[in-house]
């Protein structure tokens, strides 16, 4: 059985990935939540010294465009320097295969309404996007110089059960459930390519399978739905699922926010034999049901099961 090190294993995507891959690989978890930091050489060295690792899935990063505007040095320190430390420890222990969690933000602001493809020029407009783009460049350098094999999976607006509470869909669901205000930055006509976390995890698994059986690879690939929804349409969909009207307050657009994320997933289909399976409507229903289960005010299991039966019939 092959051994995988998953950094960021306790996060939103990482926790789903660990469950998905358990039993298929020997999984080594690495996360700040369990006292391990990619910026600390000794933490990484210790796990590589104790285990023969066949591939790293590198999810650990400070996430979010807006916080990176406020703390760019922190993002650079963690996302870029931390990754460099990881790569150097990998090199020390002759582990040269890595699947990296990149981001659609590397494309920058898309005003063309054309789906972004991997051949498009990267134009990051936030420190967060810059760190993701820089790591992709580092992986190309390590491929050319040290024979590293890598696949950078570019995620497009990931959502689903157990999403971080500071992210838009989670915040929208909570606000509509409670009847509180939803703050939308801009006019709400910004479009996003929302990709369900289960599909993202499936794409990562396909990337791991690919890289383990490939001798020479250095690729970036979009994991996306190839379908866009405006913020206003998204809120309308959530309102319909919950059965309550949203109270929207429009505010000025935030620095670093992009107009459109819209990905072409042809390369993922060809390279990884991957395609998304969960529609935005079904994915939103699943996330809302997860919110119901986790909400302390909704502990009545029978009511949730009844709602689940009703929601499937809509």
Residue 211: domain span: 3-159+197-226+262-277
Report whether 223 contacts 158 (CB < 8 A): no
> Residue 237 region, left (φ>0) first, then alpha (ψ -120 to 50), else beta?
alpha
89 three-state secondary structure: helix
- What are the structure tokens assigned to 26, written together? 């020997």
Could you tell me if residue 92 is inside a domain? yes
So which residues are the catalytic ones?
128
Question: For the residues of 179-210, what is the DSSP string, one character each?
Answer: T-EEEEESSS--EE--EEHHHHHHHHHHHHHH
Could you tell me if residue 296 is inside a domain? no
Could you tell me if residue 8 is inside a domain? yes
Could you tell me if residue 181 is inside a domain? no
Could you tell me if residue 12 is inside a domain? yes
For each of the chain's 314 residues, which pLDDT tens digit applies? 999 999 999 999 999 999 999 999 999 999 999 999 999 999 999 999 999 999 999 999 999 999 999 999 999 999 999 999 999 999 999 999 999 999 999 999 887 889 999 999 999 999 999 999 999 999 999 999 999 999 999 999 999 999 988 889 999 999 999 999 999 999 999 999 999 999 999 999 999 999 999 999 999 999 999 999 999 999 999 999 999 999 999 999 888 888 889 999 999 999 999 999 999 999 999 999 998 887 654 444 434 444 444 544 44
Report whether 283 contacts 196 (CB < 8 A): yes
Position of tokens 């110089």?
145
Task: Measure Cα distances from 73 to 68, 77, 80, 125, 257 in Å.
Answer: 8, 6, 10, 15, 19
Number of Cβ within a 10 Å radius of residue 60: 26
Domain count for the chain, please give it.
1
Could you tell me if residue 80 is inside a domain? yes
Q: How far apart are CA 126 and CA 109, in angstroms?
A: 10
Could you tell me if residue 125 is inside a domain? yes
Please report, for the domain that includes residue 272, its CATH number: 3.40.50.720
Could you tell me if residue 168 is inside a domain? no
For the entire predicted model, the pTM comes to 0.92
């Amino acid at each position: 059985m092959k051994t995988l090190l998953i950094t960021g294993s306790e996060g939103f995507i990482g926790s789903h990935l660990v469950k998905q891959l358990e039993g298929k690989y020997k999984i080594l978890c690495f996360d700040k939540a369990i006292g391990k930091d990619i910026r600390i050489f000794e933490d990484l060295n210790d796990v590589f010294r104790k285990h023969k690792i066949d591939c790293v899935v590198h999810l650990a990063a400070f996430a979010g465009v807006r916080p990176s505007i406020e703390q760019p040095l922190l993002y650079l320190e963690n996302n870029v320097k931390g990754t460099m430390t990881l790569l150097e420890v990998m090199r020390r222990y002759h582990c040269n295969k890595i699947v990296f969690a990149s981001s659609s933000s590397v494309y920058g602001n898309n005003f063309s309404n054309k789906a972004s493809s991997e051949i498009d020029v990267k134009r990051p407009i936030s420190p967060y996007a810059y760190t993701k783009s820089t790591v992709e460049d580092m992986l190309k350098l390590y491929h050319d110089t040290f024979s590293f094999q890598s696949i950078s999976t570019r995620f497009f607006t990931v959502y689903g059960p157990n999403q971080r509470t500071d992210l838009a869909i989670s915040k929208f669901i909570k606000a509509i459930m409670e009847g509180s205000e939803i703050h939308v930055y801009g006019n709400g006509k910004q479009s996003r390519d929302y990709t369900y976390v289960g599909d993202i995890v499936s794409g990562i698994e396909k990337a791991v399978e690919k890289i383990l059986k490939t001798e020479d690879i250095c690729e970036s690939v979009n994991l996306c739905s190839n379908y866009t929804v405006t913020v206003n349409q998204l809120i309308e969909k959530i309102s319909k699922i919950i059965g309550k009207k949203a109270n929207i307050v429009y505010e000025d657009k935030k620095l670093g926010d992009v107009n459109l994320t819209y990905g072409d997933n042809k390369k993922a289909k060809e390279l990884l034999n991957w395609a998304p399976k969960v529609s935005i409507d079904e994915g939103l229903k699943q996330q809302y049901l997860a919110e119901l289960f986790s909400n302390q005010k909704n502990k009545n299991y029978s009511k949730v099961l009844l709602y689940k039966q009703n929601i499937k019939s809509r």
